[in-house]
């Protein structure tokens, strides 16, 4: 399914709060955080000329987040950055002065962090980031996972010293339980989604994601004409689309939000013109995108900056993973997790459909940009869907932590 954005605020300026939190100064602060970690190496940008030719497009570039900070996904940028910012805020409050990033390892700041516990619910990737951020600054973390999160993903979070809490039911149940326990115990909820009255922390998480855009704009030979980003609650799509619109203005690319058909909360919200919670149906293979209600801030950004919303099917996501693993011609192979290739799945669908091509003005001149948002974070699942082990995918790069 495909629809153009018909919201009455389409193409209007961002809400000033969002413009500040996703603008250049904010992105530079997030980049400074990476530099502080001493791990500022950009993730690779891969060009797929053979696939572009097959799809009658000018170029396809994939930002490959599989190696990000050893965590296997772009989520490494958001949760950990938010944790660090929250610790700095608390330390500034307690010490009565502005505490800078380079003081994070000082005994007095670590003592303050040591008294803090950050909590979140996760399908996997966000929890890893929050737990890693907490470990880095000496805070404690409690990560809530629902019944569907694989043991492999739980283990990958626990290795950062997080207290793991299994919750019966779905992701929504784990969100509710994390909020309940956190308020009982005085912990800070570091969620990647926002709701009425809870915006500041998820805005920090989204700010962390803007790092990808900064890097990509430096790596790309020319700015993209089209960008397709997959959505769970919409945080990453809003961070990418919002930052691009702020820094490129009228020259910004056509921006498309891609939802799994089985959890199409952004698509349905766009259709309704307001935030919509969709019914739970069958689970989607795009496990990290299985979200039934958009993030409030993400929606506020996307109804202004997204040009179109579309859905992809289960087989589209699996096809994208397989095409990335076994590329044509001299295109490099990329190991993409189930949710990682969903943006490309949107491109494959759009490029093959004459009506969508026309609606988006996709042509042999288009320079398309997508993000492989995760590497094979569940290796067993990857093997099942692609028929290869992640390490067998030539050119998959650094799979550390995947
Ligand atoms: C690999 C991957 N891709 C995309 C997303 C979607 O991000 P958002 O929920 O911010 O839309 C997620 C969310 O967890 C993810 O883990």
- pLDDT tens-place values along the chain, 402 residues long: 999 999 999 999 999 999 999 999 999 999 999 999 987 799 999 999 999 999 999 999 999 999 999 889 999 999 999 999 999 999 999 999 999 999 999 999 999 999 999 999 998 889 999 999 999 999 999 999 998 888 988 999 999 999 999 999 888 889 899 999 999 999 999 999 999 999 999 999 999 999 999 999 999 999 999 999 999 999 999 999 999 999 999 999 999 999 999 999 999 999 999 999 999 889 999 999 998 999 999 999 999 999 999 999 999 999 999 999 999 999 999 999 999 999 999 999 999 999 999 999 999 999 999 999 999 988 899 999 999 999 889 654 444 333
**Residue indicated by tokens 């399914």:** 1
Domains of the chain plus CATH, in order, are 2-73+201-392 (3.40.50.1100), 79-191 (3.40.50.1100)
301 lines ligand 1 (CB under 6 A): no
CA–CA dist 182, 322 (Å, integer): 41
Q: How many CB atoms lie within 10 A of CB 151?
A: 9
- For the CA of 73, the nearest atom of ligand 1: 1
Structure tokens at 110: 């670590």
CA–CA dist 329, 80 (Å, integer): 38
Question: 94 C-alpha vs ligand 1 centroid, how far in Å?
Answer: 34
Question: 124 C-alpha vs ligand 1 centroid, how far in Å?
Answer: 10
The answer to whether the beta carbons of residues 216 and 45 sit under 8 Å apart is: yes
Sheet with strand 45-47: strands edge to edge: 2-4, 308-312, 254-260, 226-230, 367-372, 59-64, 45-47
366 lines ligand 1 (CB under 6 A): no
Question: 372 C-alpha vs ligand 1 centroid, how far in Å?
Answer: 11
374 lines ligand 1 (CB under 6 A): yes
Residue 396's pLDDT is 47
The answer to whether the beta carbons of residues 152 and 380 sit under 8 Å apart is: yes
Sheet with strand 163-167: strands edge to edge: 163-167, 140-146, 117-122, 188-189
73 lines ligand 1 (CB under 6 A): yes
Question: 192 C-alpha vs ligand 1 centroid, how far in Å?
Answer: 9
Nearest to 118 by CA among 72, 82, 70: 82
CA–CA dist 362, 254 (Å, integer): 10
Name, in order, each residue with C-beta under 8 angstroms of 41's C-beta and a sequence gap of 6 or more: none
Catalytic annotation on 75? yes
Catalytic annotation on 331? no
Residue 148's pLDDT is 86
Question: 289 C-alpha vs ligand 1 centroid, how far in Å?
Answer: 6
231 lines ligand 1 (CB under 6 A): yes
Q: Residue with the nearest Cα to atom 10 of ligand 1?
A: 235
Q: Residue with the nearest Cα to atom 13 of ligand 1?
A: 288
Q: Residue with the nearest Cα to atom 6 of ligand 1?
A: 232
Nearest to 39 by CA among 375, 400, 301, 309: 400
235 lines ligand 1 (CB under 6 A): yes
The answer to whether the beta carbons of residues 301 and 240 sit under 8 Å apart is: no
- From 71, 206, 275, 288, the mutation candidate for ligand 1 (largest count of ligand atoms within 8 A of CB) is 288
Structure tokens at 9: 């605020």
288 lines ligand 1 (CB under 6 A): yes
208 lines ligand 1 (CB under 6 A): no
CA–CA dist 182, 67 (Å, integer): 31
CA–CA dist 293, 172 (Å, integer): 9
- Which residue in 18, 63, 64, 75 is the catalytic one? 75
225 lines ligand 1 (CB under 6 A): no
Question: 138 C-alpha vs ligand 1 centroid, how far in Å?
Answer: 26
CA–CA dist 212, 44 (Å, integer): 10
Please provide residue 28's backbone torsions phi and psi, each rounded to the nearest 5 degrees: -65, -35
pTM beyond 0.85: the answer is: yes
- Which residue in 123, 259, 331, 378 is the catalytic one? 123
């Amino acid at each position: 399914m495909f629809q153009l954005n018909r919201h009455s605020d389409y193409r209007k300026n961002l809400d000033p709060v969002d413009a500040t939190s996703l603008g250049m100064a904010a992105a530079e602060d997030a980049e400074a955080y990476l530099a502080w970690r001493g791990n500022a190496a950009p993730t690779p940008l891969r060009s797929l000329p053979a696939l572009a030719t097959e799809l009658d497009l000018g170029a396809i570039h994939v930002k490959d987040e599989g190696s990000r900070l050893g965590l296997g996904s772009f989520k490494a940028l958001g949760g950990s950055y938010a944790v660090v910012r929250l610790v700095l805020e608390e330390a500034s409050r307690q010490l009565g002065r502005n505490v800078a990033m380079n003081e994070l390892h000082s005994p007095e700041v670590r003592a303050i962090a040591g008294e803090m516990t950050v909590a979140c619910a996760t399908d996997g990737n966000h929890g890893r980031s929050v737990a890693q951020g907490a470990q880095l600054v000496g805070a404690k973390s409690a990560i809530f996972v629902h019944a569907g999160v694989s043991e492999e993903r739980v283990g990958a979070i626990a290795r950062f010293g997080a207290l793991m809490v299994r919750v019966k039911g779905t992701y929504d149940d784990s969100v509710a339980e994390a909020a309940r326990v956190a308020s009982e115990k005085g912990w800070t909820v570091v969620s990647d989604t926002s709701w009425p009255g809870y915006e500041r922390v998820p805005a920090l998480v989204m700010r962390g994601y803007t790092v990808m855009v900064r890097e990509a704009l430096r790596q790309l030979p020319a700015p993209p004409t089209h960008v397709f980003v997959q959505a769970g609650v919409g945080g990453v799509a809003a961070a990418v689309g919002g930052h691009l619109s702020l820094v490129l203005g009228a020259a910004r690319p056509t921006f498309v939000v891609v939802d799994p058909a089985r959890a199409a909360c952004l698509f349905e919200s766009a259709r309704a013109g307001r935030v919509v919670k969709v019914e739970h149906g069958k689970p989607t293979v795009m496990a990290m995108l299985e979200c039934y209600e958009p993030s409030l801030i993400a929606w506020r950004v996307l109804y202004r900056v997204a040009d179109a919303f579309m859905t992809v099917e289960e087989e589209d996501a699996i096809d994208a993973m397989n095409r990335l693993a076994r590329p044509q011609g001299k295109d490099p192979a990329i190991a993409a997790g189930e949710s990682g290739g969903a943006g490309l799945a949107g491109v494959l669908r759009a490029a093959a459909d004459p009506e969508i091509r026309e609606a988006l003005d996709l042509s042999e001149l288009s320079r398309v940009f997508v993000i492989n948002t995760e590497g094979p974070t569940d290796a067993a699942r990857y093997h099942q869907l692609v028929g290869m082990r992640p390490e067998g995918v030539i050119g998959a790069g650094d799979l550390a932590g995947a």
